[in-house]
Amino acid sequence: MSLMSVVRPTLVVVALASVSLGVRFAVFPPPLGRLEPLAATPRRAAPDPVVSPVSPDSLARAVAARDIFRAGRRPAVVPFNAQTADAGAPPPPAIPLPPLRLSGILVGSDTAALVDGFPGSDASRVVHAGERIGEFTVRSIGTDNVTIAGRDTSWTLRLRTP
């Protein structure tokens, strides 16, 4: 690799950059103003606090008119009610839990469990670990219990002893 193969692309890049800066300043020249040296500017006392001729109420109305917290920049569709705001949101409706009951466990090479109470099923159902029944998943089957997971809850069903 020769020196010229490195220098030539570098010169091209520098030339293009200088041309683009020249065009930028020709089209958009910087504002011309009189620059004073820092030492020449006299020190001034702190300015008196400025009292705004605008009342705070009108400022509040201006801020409310341009609500920065709403994407549509429009007032809320539902008016604010202090009585309902203090009460809080109503609790979500309770989801009825299925009456699951473990009737028996079949232990062997293919362990299974006999479970009653699955929604949509009137009879006992033979289930295996990992099986999905509707919105429920059989997580594990032990020697005396079965773990079944729902949407947000997990149940451990145990065998009843007489």
Q: How far apart are CA 138 and CA 150, in angstroms?
A: 9
CATH, residue 150: 2.30.30
Q: Is residue 25 part of a domain?
A: no
Q: What is the per-residue pLDDT for 135?
A: 87
**Count of domains observed in the chain:** 1
Q: Is residue 128 part of a domain?
A: yes
Q: What is the per-residue pLDDT for 138?
A: 94
Q: What is the per-residue pLDDT for 140?
A: 94
Q: Is residue 17 part of a domain?
A: no
Q: Is residue 111 part of a domain?
A: yes
Q: How far apart are CA 46 and CA 30, in angstroms?
A: 31
* CB-CB neighbours of 138 under 10 Å: 19
Q: Average pLDDT by consecutive 10-residue portion of the chain (162 residues)?
A: 77 85 71 59 64 68 69 73 70 76 89 89 88 92 92 86 69
| Contacts of residue 95, Cβ cutoff 8 Å, sequence gap at least 6 | 151
Q: What is the DSSP secondary-structure string of 60-83? A: HHHHHHT-TTSTT-S--SSPP-HH
Q: Is residue 135 part of a domain?
A: yes
Q: Is residue 117 part of a domain?
A: yes
Q: How far apart are CA 105 and CA 146, in angstroms?
A: 9
Q: What is the per-residue pLDDT for 108?
A: 85
Which residues form the domain of 106? 101-158
- Exposed, middle or buried, 131 (CB in 10 Å: 0-12/13-18/19+)? middle
Q: Is residue 130 part of a domain?
A: yes
| Contacts of residue 129, Cβ cutoff 8 Å, sequence gap at least 6 | 111, 138, 139, 140, 141
Q: How far apart are CA 46 and CA 62, in angstroms?
A: 30
Is residue 124 within 8 A of residue 115, CB to CB? The reply is: yes
- Exposed, middle or buried, 94 (CB in 10 Å: 0-12/13-18/19+)? exposed
Q: How far apart are CA 122 and CA 116, in angstroms?
A: 8
